[in-house]
Structure 1
């Protein structure tokens, strides 16, 4: 994108994790002034394990590969295919330094409230200099999706320790303890693999089956295969299911329930070490919990067992506590936003990073930011294009972002998208806003059969009824 003449408007970016840095970089390239706000002392978001809001743990690594995750304009200075969190923290520090973004953020400054002020927004924050209020023409919310723990309730009471994975940092916390992990998402499986080397015993309580994807297939990171050539959803499900059975076997034989859905209709588990430990007898799979009684956990199949620690690997809920839900068009368990970014009211709020998708990486989030920056630049320099974009959003239909997959109607899947369908829709929207020729190109492609189908949760359809882990935990 070319640099534009400086904007007369000013915007705020909340958060300096991957999504916030994406927004900052896109605004910078478009010549749009902004102030960044970050509650922690530096960039990196949850990848900064020293950030008080971080849910990172010592053994955490990427579960999508480096080359499919990194920013396109700033490759990682690492040869590891799946680098760990400390390497990634350095990566974000280097990214911010390379592009001169650090000085645009106010660190140790938490946003406490967003309030409408006519057509603008009052941003209230607490920082080193106390409470401040600043007026902005718009606010980009990029404070992440994996900070507010989802804590289920159980019948009865437990005499031991109940801990959410957000409080887990290292395996020595579980030394000598009888541990029950509730949930088998990517974090739950990571922690189980850690725990078998320290805990007295490890069980996992699961309520549904999972598909397990090895990190390497045919000697290469599995998510690097077939890049740029997406297969039709049903064909990919059939082929990849056969490949996984050949490489990992049937998870049912290790004690997991049989999945009641097809591959990719929920986030797969990128961890086959868990199957090795199950095969070695290092841990066991247990059914869903019925009730708690002292140190005893009763399961729904009538069995029971005593534990010292119940570790909840039950994911996170979306949390934008500083803004009214109506301002984000919150519907059910998540905001209903065009391309998961724009409230249909176009009230000056924009959401970054409210997407989960296998393989979308940080470049996919940067493309979100580029779309926001292009829209803001159009508002300033080409208001007719911005107006046309708003009309398309409000009249619908919205593009289908599922890629033909029938995602489970779960809370954690309510903002799940298919990476290929999503990135295509974002690029087309950006092109249409960017210039008339690009807009005509997008219209031509749609006339020739690439017009996306109506998304199931577009403005003319009901949203899904109702998250665990992201592919990059960010």
Structure 2
């Protein structure tokens, strides 16, 4: 069964491209609107339109930074931003997406009308039966309210990590980095390697920190598993916390062992992030950690413990807020599973949730769900307006991926794949495992997923370890 009708996709980043690919596969006439002059979204690295700096690498492994129709091929375990952009161009070319993309076209307004949606750009107004919003959630940085910040007189200024480009300009400078998530930690390390005279990190709380690679295996292969998603549904919160913390401490130990502040004993309260170099550089004294900044006066910054210090520059890695100025705010405040609005049929969102872990795999699953639902391949979502408004809480990649896979009808049934049982539970949530069953199942998916699960030696047999067996038993025999 295929569908007909015109669909506008707003944004030509990973979410927009994969949405257009799957919508076209179901027969929808699709047009992509992109305000920039190149496809790729954040991965273009264009100043003012991207927070990707020139030396940035992914925090997700090559296996999980890909879609199900195009293997990433050989390369770095954690690809550079240039490699990711090249991959997106290859993906777009494979599905002839440049031909349906209008570059340099900013969408000014999207408004519902009888029987469809009006999409207004500088070139005019067009009507579409459906609209997919895929503009990304990492374009509007948030700076904290700090007394006197506007008085800062350091020679290299105060900027968001979104505008961080050239670490060399900080060589020989005293730099304060604010934030505790991966961008702040990675930029802190880059500044050290670029020759900054002094690098200080200020944070509200110390998170647990995982290296990107532990024991030769990318940590996203160990942490974002299908077992973890099932456990989140069936086990008490304190047991889930204990299991995740066990993985983290085995890989990296406690932050205070490196000289960083001690985090909250509960991993769910403290949070966890990734950085390959942050803790070792703290242990070497090349990064100094301070509590949160409370005031700025000229080039002097005061911290919550009362100490103060002079700096030449401040970089804020303090997060983003979702901004979709072409929509009425109420259109994206209440969503079912981050995707469909309960009162606005024909409108869907891609990639607008906040999570730990890489976005490529869940983006594709969300895109498939939208395409299949609108084409009638799966049951349409039953959404109600009772969900509370506001930004959804941060989730984890494996939880949202399994949610979308179930909705799209492509979540594999464990009992159908005894030879892959361990890999499906404790291996990486590679895109290949979501081509085993359901619409668009691929004949080579079994071989591809077995390869992906064993890519770094994590899953090389179907025999569970003693710990995996114990974890599995906790879920019950009916899983």
- Which residue in 2 is equivalent to 1:369? 367
Match among 184, 208, 214 for residue 217 of structure 1 = 214
Measured at CA, do residues 420 and 290 of structure 1 come closer, stay the same or move farther in structure 2, by a change above 3 Å? closer
Match among 179, 183, 187 for residue 179 of structure 2 = 183
Separation (CA, whole Å) in 1 of partners of 2:204 and 2:331: 35
* 1:317-356 matches, cutoff 5 A: 317-328=321-332, 330=333, 336-356=334-354
SS of the residue corresponding to residue 351 of structure 2 reads coil
- Check if 1:426 corresponds to 2:425: no
- Check if 1:35 corresponds to 2:31: yes
Match among 136, 140, 163 for residue 132 of structure 2 = 140
Structure 1 residue 264, shift from structure 2 partner: 5.1
Structure 1 residue 151, shift from structure 2 partner: 1.4
Match among 74, 77, 89 for residue 93 of structure 1 = 89
Separation (CA, whole Å) in 2 of partners of 1:60 and 1:423: 25
Structure 1 residue 51, shift from structure 2 partner: 6.2
Separation (CA, whole Å) in 1 of partners of 2:128 and 2:326: 15
Structure 1 residue 61, shift from structure 2 partner: 1.0
- The one-character-per-residue Cα deviations of 1:255-284 (angstroms, maximum 9, x if unpaired) are 543333733567522113111111111120
- Which residue in 2 is equivalent to 1:120? 116
Match among 52, 58, 62 for residue 62 of structure 1 = 58
- Which residue in 2 is equivalent to 1:285? 289
**More off after superposition, 45-54 vs 11-20:** 45-54
Separation (CA, whole Å) in 2 of partners of 1:244 and 1:19: 30
- Check if 1:14 corresponds to 2:10: yes
Match among 152, 159, 168 for residue 158 of structure 1 = 152
Match among 310, 316, 320 for residue 316 of structure 1 = 320
SS of the residue corresponding to residue 356 of structure 2 reads coil
Measured at CA, do residues 395 and 287 of structure 1 come closer, stay the same or move farther in structure 2, by a change above 3 Å? closer
Structure 1 residue 339, shift from structure 2 partner: 0.8
Measured at CA, do residues 16 and 376 of structure 1 come closer, stay the same or move farther in structure 2, by a change above 3 Å? same
- The one-character-per-residue Cα deviations of 1:225-254 (angstroms, maximum 9, x if unpaired) are 374433634445324423433442321244
Contact 1:327 1:347 in 2 (8 A): no
SS of the residue corresponding to residue 100 of structure 1 reads coil
SS of the residue corresponding to residue 384 of structure 2 reads helix
Separation (CA, whole Å) in 1 of partners of 2:269 and 2:69: 31
Measured at CA, do residues 177 and 354 of structure 1 come closer, stay the same or move farther in structure 2, by a change above 3 Å? same
Separation (CA, whole Å) in 1 of partners of 2:147 and 2:289: 21
Measured at CA, do residues 26 and 173 of structure 1 come closer, stay the same or move farther in structure 2, by a change above 3 Å? same
Separation (CA, whole Å) in 2 of partners of 1:38 and 1:72: 23
Gaps spanning 5+ residues in structure 1: where?
Answer: 331-335, 399-410, 433-437, 439-474
Separation (CA, whole Å) in 1 of partners of 2:385 and 2:345: 17
- The one-character-per-residue Cα deviations of 1:90-126 (angstroms, maximum 9, x if unpaired) are 0000000011111111011111111222342211113
Separation (CA, whole Å) in 2 of partners of 1:359 and 1:73: 21
SS of the residue corresponding to residue 393 of structure 1 reads coil
- Which residue in 1 is equivalent to 2:417? none
SS of the residue corresponding to residue 245 of structure 2 reads helix
What do you get for the CA RMSD once the two structures are aligned?
2.7
Match among 75, 79, 83 for residue 79 of structure 1 = 75
Structure 1 residue 290, shift from structure 2 partner: 1.5
SS of the residue corresponding to residue 355 of structure 2 reads coil
TM-score by length of 2: 0.77
Separation (CA, whole Å) in 2 of partners of 1:353 and 1:173: 33
Measured at CA, do residues 45 and 323 of structure 1 come closer, stay the same or move farther in structure 2, by a change above 3 Å? same
**More off after superposition, 202-211 vs 256-265:** 256-265
List, as ranges, runs of 4+ consecutive aligned residues in structure 1 with deviation greater than 6 Å: 395-398
Separation (CA, whole Å) in 2 of partners of 1:188 and 1:420: 24
Contact 1:248 1:272 in 2 (8 A): no
Separation (CA, whole Å) in 1 of partners of 2:287 and 2:226: 39
Gaps spanning 5+ residues in structure 2: where?
Answer: 233-237, 414-479
Measured at CA, do residues 209 and 345 of structure 1 come closer, stay the same or move farther in structure 2, by a change above 3 Å? same
Separation (CA, whole Å) in 1 of partners of 2:32 and 2:265: 41
